[in-house]
Structure 1
Amino acid sequence: MIRPASYCGVAGYTATPGTFPLTGIKGLSHTLDTLGLLARGTRDMALLRAALLAPARRPAAPDGPPALVVWRNTGLGPTDPAMDRALDQAARTAAEAGARIVEAPSGLPSLPDVAEAHATVMAYEAARSLSAERTRPKLLSPQLLELLITGDRVGRVDYLAALDRAAAARRELWECLDGVEAILAPAAPGPAPYGLASTGSPVFSRPWQAMGLPAVTVPGLATSDGLPLGVQLVARPDDDERLLTAGAWLEQALRSRSAV
C-alpha cells in the first residue's frame, strides 16, 4: 500500500496488525500480514478506517502540528535525488507550519538488519502458508516459487531469532524517540519505475512492517516532470488514529504550500 500510493499520488495506509479482520483474505505471513487501504487523501483514509471499525465513529480532527523525526539516511538503499528533495521539502514545510522537526538521533536500530529479519520471517511463514500451492509449482510465478524455496531452507531457530530481532528493534526505536509522534521517511526509492517489468523495491516498507508499526503515505509532492512522490509517516503500534491525524495535517500543509 505504501509504495503504490507513492507512485500514484494518493494516500496508502497499513494498519497495526490485528486492527482489522483478515477474513476472506489469503494469507502469506501471519506475523506480517495486515489490511491495507488506499484513498484519495489521508482525511478520506481516516473516514474509511472509522467506517470499518465497530462501533463506527468520526475520526479525530487534526489537533495541531505534530512532532516528527526525519529519518533521511535509513541505510536501506539509494534514493532518487527527487525523493531526497521531496523529503527535505516535506520536513521544511512541516517546520514552517509549526511542527517540531527532529533529525534522527544516533543509536537507532539498524533498519537494514530489521529488513533482513523481515525477509527471513516472510519466507519461513510463506513456505508454510502456501504449502498446498507449492505442490503445483508450474502455476506459480518464478518470484513466488523462489520465495517458497527460500522459506523451506530457513530453520526454525533462525526464524525465531528474526522475530526476536524485530521485537527488540521496536522497543529500542521508541525508547530513542520518546516525545515524537511519528517518523517521516521516504515511501519509496523514487518515482514509479518505467515499464511493467518491476513494481519497484519494497525495502522502504519492510523494517516498519517487521516491527508491526502502522504507516501512511502522504501525497502532495512530485518530480520536476510531474510524477507523484509520497513520503510516509510511521507511528507506534496501535497509534493509528494519531498517525492519520498527523498525516492529514502534513498533507494539508503540503497542499497549502503548493497553492501559494
Structure 2
Amino acid sequence: MRELTNLGVKAIRDGVADGSFTAREVAEAFNTAVADAAELNAFIVTTPDHALAAADAADAKRARGEDLGIMGGVPIGMKDLFATRGVQTTAASHILEGFTPEYESTVSQKLWDAGAGMLGKLNLDQFAMGSSNETSYFGNVNSPWRKEGSNAAMSPGGSSGGSSSAVAARIAPAATGTDTGGSIRQPAAFTGICGIKPTYGRCSRWGVVAFASSLDQAGPMARNVEDCAIMLEAMAGFDPKDATSLQMDVPTWEAGLDADLKGKKIGIPKEYRMDGTDEEILKSWEQGKEWLRDAGATIVDVSLPHTKYALPAYYIVAPAEASSNLARYDGVRYGLRDLPDGAGLQDMYAATRAAGFGDEVKRRILIGTYVLSAGFYDAYYTQAQKIRTLVSQDFEKAFAQCDAILAPTTPTASFPLGSLNEDPLTMYLNDVFAVPASLAGLPAMSVPATVNSDGLPLGLQIVGKPFDEQGVLNAGLAIQQRAGFDAQPEKWW
C-alpha cells in the first residue's frame, strides 16, 4: 500500500469507499504526520479525536452499505477563521485566544456533513491580514519549501499560510482557506498546490471571522484541481443566515471536469506585465499560453485598464471594512479583557485592543478609520468604491471577448521570512495580480506551473466569469495535465 499521507481527497475517498484501506487508517496516518511536523507551526490547535471520530463514522457507514458522502473518510485542516463548535477559534489573534464557539460555521458543517473530519485548526495571518503568515500571535508558519542550497525559512504565503504549508507538506490532503485579496491563491502559488476562490457568495460567510465583508470568500486548497472541485462542491451552497449568499444550485463540478478547451478563448491582460515581476514568472506565463493553446483554446489579448488602481483601492476598501468589523472586539462580551486598576470603560477598550491586536491589524484599523472619517470619506472611500466599479466593468468588457483570463498568480516566488517585515508596501504588492478578481467578486484559481531556478514553485492564475467555476477548473485542469507538476519539498522538519 502506498503511503496514505501521499494521497489526495479523491484517492482517499475512493479508497475508503472500495475498501482499499479504512478511514481510521487514513486518520491515524495524518494525525501522526501532523504531530511530527510541529516545526512547520501550521496548526494552532490539533484535533486528532475529531479526525478519528469522523473516520469511525465513515467506516461504520461503509459497513452498513450507506453512502459516505463526497468527502467521506477524508481528514482536512480547518483555517482558524472558521468557528468550530467546542474547539478554540482565534483568527490567530491574542484578542480571541481561548474563545470556544458554541456554534459551527456553515462551511465547516457542510464539510462534516459530507463525511470529512478535522485534523485541527490551521495558523494564519492575524485576522487574515497579511501575505506571509508572519502576523500570527501564535508565531510564523514555515513553508515546507527551501531554496536550493539554503536553510533559510521561507514564507508559505498568506493569509492562508497554515493551510498551504500543511497541504504542501503532506500533513493534510486538503484544507479550507479564505480569500479577501488573494489569501487562497497567493499561498497556493508559493507552495506548489492548487487553490480556488469561488464567486463571491458561493460559500457562506456565516461563522467565519470577518475581515472585509464585501470581499471575504471561503474556498478549498488541495494538491490538484480534481480535489479542489470535490471539496468546493461540499463547501458551497445557499445559506439563509448569510445575506450575501447566492441562491443558486451547486453544480456538480467534479463530474463536469473537462480539459478539452476547443472553442474557448483565453484572454491575456496586457496590463499584468508589470515592472518588478520576476522574469521566470513571465516565462511561465508564456508557457501557460502554449499549454492552453495545446488544449484547444484560442489566445486573445484583452485590456484591464484600471488594474493599476486596483491595489490602492483594495487597501482602502478592505481596511475600512476591517475597522468596522473589528470594533466588536472590545473586551466586553468574549475574548481578551485587559482591565487596568481603577480603569473605566474607555480605558478597558483601549487597553484590551492595544494588548490584543498585532501591529498589522492596528495599522489596517487606523487606515480604515482614517478613510472613513468625516473629512476624508469622499476623498478616499468613495473614490475607492468608484475604482472598484471600474475594475468590475473592465472584466465585463474583457469577458465579452474571452471565456477566461490567464495571468500570473504572484509577481515573485516565495521570499525568506522576515525579509519584507520593514516594508509593508512591498508586502502588499504581493497581491497585485490577485486583488482585481477579488474586487470584482470573480472566481479565480492558482495552479502550480513549474519550479524556478531556486527550486521554488511558481503558480499560474485563471480568472473566470461570475458563477463559472467550472470554466476556471477546466482551464486549471488543462494546465495541470500539461505542466505535470510533481515537485515536492524535501522533508527537513
TM-score computed with the length of structure 1 as normaliser: 0.88
Q: Which aligned pairs between 1:53-68 and structure 2 lie closer than 5 A?
A: 53=236, 57=252, 58-62=254-258, 64-65=260-261, 66-68=264-266
* 2:491 counterpart residue number: none
- Per-residue deviation at 1:195? 2.7
CA contact (8 A) 1:76 1:203 kept: no
User: Who is 2:320 aligned against?
Assistant: 124
1:63: Cα distance to partner? 5.9
Bigger shift: residues 166-175 or 40-49: 166-175
Residue 101 of structure 1: aligned partner: 299
Matched, 1:149 2:382: no
Q: CA, structure 1 residues 253+23, in 2 after alignment: closer, same or farther (shift >3 Å)?
A: same
Change (3 A) 1:92 1:82: same
Deviation per CA, 1:168-191, whole angstroms, max 9, x where unpaired? 321232223414111111101121
Note the alpha carbon deviations across 1:43-101, whole angstroms, 9 max, x for none: 21111112223567344121621421123542665211111111111112222332211
For 2:282, which of 56, 63, 84 is the aligned residue?
Answer: 84
1:150-229 alignment, distance < 5 Å: 150-155=367-372, 156-157=377-378, 158-198=380-420, 201-229=430-458
- In terms of fraction of residues, the more helix-rich structure is 1
Q: What corresponds to 1:10 in structure 2?
A: 193
Moved more, 91-100 or 49-58: 49-58
| Alpha-carbon distance between aligned partners in 2 of 1:222 and 1:101, rounded to the nearest angstrom | 24
Question: Among 448, 463, 468, which residue is 1:239 paired with?
Answer: 468
Q: Is residue 86–residue 222 contact of structure 1 (8 Å, CA) maintained in 2?
A: no
The count of corresponding residues between Structure 1 and Structure 2 is 255
Distance in 2 (alpha carbons) for counterparts of 1:209 and 1:129: 18
Give, in angstroms, the shift of residue 25 of structure 1: 1.0
Displacement after TM superposition at 1:132 (Å):
3.3
Deviates most, 51-60 or 153-162: 51-60
Seen in structure 2, the aligned counterparts of structure 1 residues 59 and 115 have a Cα distance that, compared at 3 Å, is farther
Q: Distance in 1 between matches of 2:192 and 2:391?
A: 30
Q: Which residue of 2 is the match for residue 253 of structure 1?
A: 482
Q: Distance between the aligned counterparts of 1:193 and 1:63, measured in 2? A: 32
Q: Distance in 2 between matches of 1:32 and 1:103?
A: 27
Whether the aligned pair in 2 keeps the contact of 1:11 and 1:219 (CA below 8 Å) is yes
Match of 2:214 in 1: 31
Task: Tell me if structure 1 keeps the 8 A contact 2:445–2:476.
Answer: yes
Residue 197 of structure 1 and its aligned partner are, at CA, apart by 4.8
Mapped pair 1:111 → 2:307: yes
Question: 1: CA distance between counterparts of 2:305 and 2:400?
Answer: 14
Cα distance in 2 for residues equivalent to 1:198 and 1:13: 26
Go from structure 1 to structure 2 and tell me whether the alpha carbon gap of 1:242 and 1:235 turns closer, same or farther (over 3 Å shift).
Answer: same
Letter of the 1:82 partner, please give it: E
Tell whether 2:269 aligns with 1:47. Answer: no
Mean Cα deviation higher: 232-241 or 2-11:
232-241
Partner deviation per Cα, 1:140-163 (whole Å, 9 max, x = no partner):
211110110011111343323322
Residues 413 and 456 in structure 2, CA contact (< 8 A), matched pair in contact too:
yes
Larger Rg: 2
**Paired amino acid for 1:124:** A
* 1:3 partner SS: helix
Q: C-alpha separation between the residues in 1 aligned to 2:328 and 2:295?
A: 53
The separation in 1 between residues aligned to 2:452 and 2:273, in whole angstroms, is 22
Between the aligned partners of 2:462 and 2:397, the Cα distance in structure 1 is 18
**Farther off after superposition, 127-136 or 211-220:** 127-136
- Output the CA distance in 1 between the equivalents of 2:476 and 2:212: 27
Unpaired runs of at least 5, structure 1: none
Provide the rounded CA distance (Å) in 2 between the counterparts of 1:144 and 1:17.
24
Q: CA RMSD in A?
A: 2.3
Greater Cα offset, 123-132 or 163-172: 163-172
Q: Aligned in 2, Cα 1:26/1:77: closer, same or farther, shift over 3 Å?
A: farther
Aligned counterparts of 1:116 and 1:249: Cα–Cα separation in 2: 33
Distance 1:56 1:97, change over 3 A: closer
Q: Which amino acid aligns with 2:358?
A: S
Return the offset for 1:167. 2.0
1:179 to 1:72, Cα distance in 2 relative to 1, 3 A: closer
Query: Does structure 1 conserve the Cα–Cα contact (< 8 Å) formed by 2:404 and 2:463?
Result: yes
Distance 1:59 1:118 in 2: 35
Offset at residue 17 of structure 1 (A)? 1.1
